[in-house]
Amino acid sequence: MQVGFFFWPYTLDLCEKLAERADRYGYAMIGIADTPGNAMDPWVSATVVARASQRTRIALCVTNLLTRHPAVSAAAIASMLSNTERLSIRSGNSTPNWSSRASITSTMA
């Protein structure tokens, strides 16, 4: 079984410390919450986490195309992938009927 966690990236220091601890304690994934106006930019946070950890996969939980333009998100993803292969990219929707949920996975690790 693999276990991960997610958090709200309030400071660079928090991102670094959680990334280091995720590696130390064997977590498989770190999820970064995308909450515009409430925390740091998730792509900046994901980059900090990638630089501070050695093996833990990184995911955004959950971003959307309403507040993040697809072209800007694509540029951020390309920047991340130039520095790490541990980024998980998935798509989905909020449909309560799980059988109709869209799910495309592209894990770069």
Global pTM reads: 0.74
Q: Which domain holds residue 55?
A: 4-107
In DSSP terms, which residues pair with 64 in a beta bridge? Answer: none
Position 77 confidence tier, pLDDT thresholds 50, 70, 90: confident
End-to-end CA distance of the chain: 17
pLDDT digits (tens, 9 = 90+) for 34-62: 888 889 988 899 989 989 999 888 888 87
Query: Count of domains in the chain?
Result: 1
pLDDT attached to residue 92: 59
pLDDT attached to residue 83: 67
> Residues 6 or more apart from 86 whose CB is under 8 A from it?
50, 53, 55, 56, 57, 58, 108, 109
**Under 8 Å between Cβ of 30 and 4:** yes
